[in-house]
A and B are shown apart, each in its own frame.
Chain A
Amino acid sequence: MSLSFLQTNHQPDKPKPSLFPLRGEIPLAVVTENFCKPTTADPTHAWRFFKRLLSLEISDFFVLQIQTPFLSTKNQTHAVRGLLWKLLVAGEVFRNMSNIQTEQLLQMETTCGSLLCELKIIWDEVGETDKDRDKMLLELEQECLEIYRRKVDQANRCRAQLRQAIADSEAELAAICSAMGERPVHIRQSDQSAGSLKEELSKIIPQLEEMQKRKVERKNQFLEVVEQIQMISSEINGSTSCISSKVVVDETDLSLRRLEELHRQLHALQTEKSDRLKQIQAHLGTLNSLCLVLGMDFKQTISEIHPSLDNSEGCKDISLDLIERLATAIKKFRDVKIQRMQRLQDLATTMLELWNLMDTPIEEQQMFQNITCNIAASEHEITEPDTLSVDFINYVEAEVSRLEELKSSKMKELVLKKRTELEEICRKTHMVIEADSAIEYAIEAIESGVVDPSCVLDQIEVQVAKVKEEAFSRKDILERVDKWLFACDEECWLEEYNRDENRYNAGRGAHLTLKRAEKARALVNKLPAMVDALASKTIAWEKERGTEFTYDGVRLLSMLEEYTILRDEKEQERRRQRDQKKLQGQLMAEQEALYGSKPSPSKTQSVKKGPRMSTGGASNRRLSMQAPKADSIHSTRVPATPLSRPSSRKSDRGHQIEHDDGLTALATGRRNLSRNSSFGSSYEPESPMMRKPFAPISLPAENGTFATPMKSTNVPEEDYTKTPKVIMSFVPTTPQTVSVPMQTAVTPAPPSHQPIPYAANVAKEVAPEEVEYSFEEIRAGFVLPSAHTKSIHV
């Protein structure tokens, strides 16, 4: 209360700063308080006091000071001291210092004042002059002033710094805002609400921090986007170092618009990337299908194009270069595919042709149906895996070459067939094949592959046609030649027949021979006319044709000529013989007349087959020309001698066979026996026919061949036949387990006296004292002690 009161009174103090160099209410207040204390109850008193204070001289002030013992608290004391010190500093205290009592000063605590007092005491003691004292006090005062000034400077500097800081912050803020493209949040209204500098600074700093934070965030966003952009673009451009070392963001432009722009860019890049990936995928798909069709290893192929394609986790390289490479690979493979497809289609066409040509069975064709069905397919239609692989093409190629080989062999066959046909015709028409050697040569050529077999075939066919035509023209003459030759043969035969003295001896078939002779004679008589006619025909033919008529390579006319000459010769010979005979007959008649006996017709004059006179020359030549054919002609022309011959031979052979059978039967029989007596051989060395019952037993039948008893299983065996009615008939069997009727026969009453068909039993009868042993006895080596057999056991 008193304080406010004091403060209200304080205002009028202001105009007196000289008295109170240090402004401030506190010392004054303290003073006033102290002064007021005794008079607190009375404001008027205080007011009075204050008036006094206002008019106070410094000396009075000191008096005031002396009253400080009233100041109870240390603070108050301190304050007063400070006040005093200030007064001292003001330099106003010391002028009336001398009247300050020493003891009072001593009572004071060590303060400026006390120090001053101390100084005064010292000075007094020392006896300093007032001048020195003043000088020293001035120094003191100046030093103090210096200190003040320094402090003021410092404060001033501090203020300047503060201002600078504010300005800086504001500038930074503005820069950030502009970079971020934002209106500055804080526009300083400098004079409006000033506040202190520190307030200002403290206001601006959080804003700045906020902005800085936002900037960093924004920058990070930028960084992120830019990084992605860089990454994608590097991927797209196919730079090998995918992650660039440093992402640089233009710090000056961090606006949202820019960000938006970058995002758009990124998006565009991403779209491009996905487009490329799609493209690559599509390429890979195409490539895969191509590889499949071509039978190539897809993985290897793509890893050859780019190693990154192979790994499954999506490809990393999406550069245009790669796409380019893929595209070229696809093109390459497609080319290969087309090439192979054409090859395959060629092959298929060939194959089809060959099939058609050779009537290949459907089953054989079936295996290659999948190829031939693609014969007209276009490139994209062939999608089946491995249809165009190298192996497959090789396989088809092999088949085609096989077929071709087959075809060529068939062709060769055909050529040979044609050739034999040609030969046959020639043989039949007794012509000589002109181009024989040529054909022979042709075949060799075909084999060596020089000449196309079809060409040769054509050639041969032309020849065949030619020969056929010629044969047709020769037909008439040939028939006549045949007749003539036959007549010649008959003539020949007749000659021989005539030479046979015994020809009239009645024997078997004599009448046939007679008949033949008769016919032959008629024929022989016709022979000259025949020859003439033939000759004239031949001449006409030769004239017409302009070539010689050859028969087996010999000119027919010369053959005829030769024949006529021979015939003439023969005629002469015959005439001579007849004469001789006549002579002989005369001689004989004479002798008979003399001796009365007649020599029996000589038998030694058996038919001697001399050289055939009639057609000897021709036939000889023919023989020399075509020996085997001539033979066959002869065998057909001359009726085979007795027909019984071959048949007899056959019957001989039949005997032989039977005999053989018997032998084999015997042999097998013996074999069986020896097999049967496999142990018997060691135990019973006697007869091979001896048989002990053991298995397996073969049952020889009486006739020596082996019967097949299985056939007669239902027929009761001879020795068992008693009541055949008991024989089981087949009973229908239940399906689960097949029960079979037994092969039974009623047991005969023992002993059976019927002959036993088994060799074994025969043997038994032969040696009735033979002791039988069971397998066990044999194995144990048991021998009957009393056995009188000349046996047996080892």
Chain B
Amino acid sequence: MTAVPPPSSGQELSNPPTDGVSNLRFSNHSDHLLVSSWDKTVRLYDATANVLRGEFSHGSPVLDCCFHDDSSGFSASADNTVRRFVFNSNKEDIIGKHDAPVRCVEYSYAAGQLITGSWDKTLKCWDPRGANGQERTLIGTYQQPERVYSLSLVGNRLVVATAGRHVNVFDLRNMSQPEQRRESSLKYQTRCVRCYPNGTGYALSSVEGRVAMEFFDLSEASQTKKYAFKCHRKSEAGRDIVYPVNAIAFHPIYGTFATGGCDGYVNVWDGNNKKRLYQYSKYPTSIAALSFSRDGHLLAVASSYTFEEGEKLYEPASISPSKNHHEPDAIFVRNVNEIEVKPKPKVYPNPPA
């Protein structure tokens, strides 16, 4: 591990969060970047200008955040609350509460709804336009088989990944029951789920260095296409060291995707051709979150210890290379080269089955 990442890591944002980054997302309208962190803040950066535009303090760690529009956003907090804040006015209000820490939050532009998933094993849909007060804003509460770990939206489809390797696929227009109930095809705990931008399926990563590529269509033809692949592993002294895959981010234009693992690497994959397109040079510590900007020219990388090895103090390895310290939490914004993300056509087709 290098204390100072090589310049090829991209531009490091100044004023990074002071604790682990839980998530980061680019706006759909600009190059603004919203970052939630365990340091109990949500920060808004202008990624191109490398300027901290706003900071919103919470009472407890923020586990997720998302944009509403370019002027406001939502956060999911460990104090069970779902909050909304307006960037310009620094105004902040509580949309509602769960019974347990809220793990993830997504805003559906299609439905105009805010969806939150919590460790209280429920999913809640909110109407952020409604007046204050939970009664007015809450649209519905939907019981999930386990604690919600990750959410992903595409169009009207919502994929919910929970503990116990459950995966539920919902249609936002009919939330009464899942459209599909699935079990993760990976044998280990789900870390992240992200839908394909074309809406045909989702990618799901586990703590055991593996990513599964799934398809919504239940027909035989579609289901044969699904596969899983190993990644973020290291072979050392004859042993495989397997790292959790914390983050998946799809490129908005090419449909290729980046994965980030606790090994500190970001890999770019071409799911259709089953190829790895690129591996960026190693980041100082685990990749906690990834996000492509709206046009796919920027990739935000949160290099931040994700607690995979328990409590560690923040201290760069260069100072005391002890096991119980981790590298500083940092956010890198790198320019994405087309060659790094553009799918490569197959050289020759797969041998016929």
Given B61, B212, B235, B346, which contacts A747 in the complex, CB threshold below 8 Å? B212
Residues of A within 8 A of B275 (CB): 731, 739-742
Assuming the contacts A741-B274, A745-B228, A776-B63, asked whether A693 and B347 have C-beta atoms less than 8 A apart, the reply is: no
Q: Which of A737-754 contact B (CB under 8 A)?
A: 737, 739-748, 750-752
- Return chain B residues, CB-CB under 8 Å to A683: 310
Of A160-168, A335-343, A601-609, A704-712, which binds chain B?
Answer: A704-712
Flag if B103 contacts A776 (CB, 8 Å): yes
B243, A695: Cβ atoms closer than 8 Å: yes
Q: Provided the pairs A679-B310, A695-B209 are in contact, do residues A745 and B241 lie with their beta carbons within 8 angstroms?
A: no
Q: Does A504 contact B (CB under 8 A)?
A: no
A664-695 residues with Cβ-Cβ distance < 8 A to B are 672, 678-679, 682-683, 693-695
Does A14 reach chain B (CB closer than 8 Å)? Answer: no
Q: Mark A728-768, 1 if CB is under 8 A from B, else 0.
A: 11011010110111111111101110001000010000000
Which stretch (A77-85, A374-382, A778-786) binds chain B? A778-786
Interface residues on A, range: 35 or more
Question: Number of A-B pairs whose CB atoms are under 8 Å?
Answer: 160
A774 within 8 A of partner (CB): yes
- Report B-chain residues with C-beta under 8 Å of the C-beta of A779: 20, 38, 307
Assess whether A750 is in contact with B274, with CB atoms less than 8 Å apart: no
Please name all residues of chain B whose beta carbon is closer than 8 Å to the beta carbon of A732 when the two chains form the complex.
347
Is there contact, CB below 8 Å, between B228 and A747?
yes
Residues of A43-75 at the interface with B, using a CB-CB cut-off of 8 Å, are none
A748–B307 CB distance below 8 A:
no
The reply to whether the CB of B173 lies closer than 8 angstroms to some CB of chain A is no
Q: Is B263 an interface residue (CB 8 A)?
A: yes
Q: Does A777 contact B (CB under 8 A)?
A: yes
Question: Contact at B241–A695, with CB atoms within 8 Å?
Answer: yes
Residues of B within 8 A of A725 (CB): 351, 353
A206 at the binding interface (Cβ < 8 Å):
no
Cβ of B201 < 8 Å from any Cβ of A? no
- Enumerate chain A residues within 8 angstroms of B207, measured Cβ to Cβ: 693-695
Interface presence of A527 (CB below 8 A): no
> Does A648 have its Cβ within 8 Å of any Cβ on chain B?
no
Q: Interface digits, B321-353 against A, CB 8 Å rule (1 contact, 0 not)?
A: 001000000000000000110001011101101
Once the chains bind, are B230 and A713 in contact (CB under 8 Å)? yes
Q: Which of A706, A743, A756 is close to B230, meaning CB atoms less than 8 Å apart?
A: A743
Interface string of B207-242 (1 = CB under 8 A from A): 111001010000000001011111100110011111
Is A696 positioned at the interface, with any CB of B under 8 Å from its CB? yes
Partner of A695, one of B183, B224, B242: B242
Whether B307 pairs with A709 at a CB distance below 8 angstroms is: no
In the complex, which residues of chain B have a beta carbon less than 8 angstroms from the beta carbon of A726? 227, 350, 353
Question: With an 8 A cutoff between CB atoms, is A544 at the interface?
Answer: no
Given contacts A737-B339, A742-B275, A776 and B189 within 8 Å (CB-CB): no
Q: Are B61 and A741 neighbours in the complex by a CB distance under 8 Å?
A: no
Give the residues in chain B near A736, CB-CB below 8 Å. Answer: 339
B202 within 8 A of A: no
A105 within 8 A of B: no
Q: Name B244's contact: one of A694, A728, A734 (CB within 8 Å).
A: A694
Interface pair A699/B240, CB less than 8 Å apart: yes
- Interface size class for chain B? 35 or more
Nearest B-chain residue to A695, judged by Cβ: B243
A364 interface hit (Cβ, 8 Å): no
In the bound complex, residues from chain A placing their C-beta under 8 Å from that of B314 are none
Scan residues 629-680 of chain A and give those whose CB is less than 8 A from a CB of chain B: 672, 678-679
- Look across to chain A and name the residue whose beta carbon is closest to the beta carbon of B351: A725
- The reply on A775 being an interface residue by CB < 8 A is yes
In the complex, what residues of B have CB within 8 A of residue A679's CB? 309-311
A313 interfacial by beta-carbon distance below 8 Å: no
Residue A698 at the chain B interface, CB threshold 8 Å:
yes
Interface contact B243-A696, CB-CB below 8 Å? yes
From A672, A695, A773, name the one whose CB has the most chain B CB atoms within 10 angstroms.
A695
The CA-CA distance from A776 to B207 in the complex, in Å, is 13
**B244 to chain A: which residues have CB within 8 Å?**
693-695, 775
Of all chain B residues, the one with the shortest Cβ separation from A728 is B274
CA distance A773 to B209 in the complex (A): 17
How many angstroms between the C-alpha atoms of A743 and B212 in the bound complex? 11
Q: Report Cα–Cα, A750/B167, bound state, in Å.
A: 12
Q: Does B73 contact A (CB under 8 A)?
A: no
A699 and B189 in contact, given A739-B278, A743-B230 (Cβ under 8 angstroms): no
Chain A residues within an 8 Å CB radius of B184:
750
Cβ of B270 < 8 Å from any Cβ of A?
yes
CA distance A725 to B353 in the complex (A): 7
Mark interface residues in A313-342 (1 if CB within 8 Å of B CB, else 0): 000000000000000000000000000000
CA distance A107 to B61 in the complex (A): 153
B339 CB contacts on chain A under 8 angstroms: 736-737
At the interface, yes or no: B277 with Cβ under 8 Å from chain A?
yes
Residues of A within 8 A of B185 (CB): 747-748, 750
What distance in Å separates the Cβ of B207 from its nearest Cβ neighbour in chain A? 4
> Would you mind naming 27 contact pairs between A and B with Cβ atoms under 8 Å apart?
A679-B311, A682-B311, A693-B207, A693-B244, A694-B309, A696-B241, A708-B235, A708-B239, A709-B235, A719-B187, A728-B274, A737-B339, A742-B230, A742-B231, A742-B274, A746-B227, A747-B212, A747-B226, A750-B185, A751-B183, A774-B191, A775-B306, A775-B308, A776-B103, A780-B61, A780-B101, A782-B100
Binding site for B on A (CB under 8 A): 672, 678-679, 682-683, 693-699, 706, 708-710, 713, 719-720, 723, 725-726, 728-729, 731-732, 734, 736-737, 739-748, 750-752, 756, 761, 772-780, 782, 784
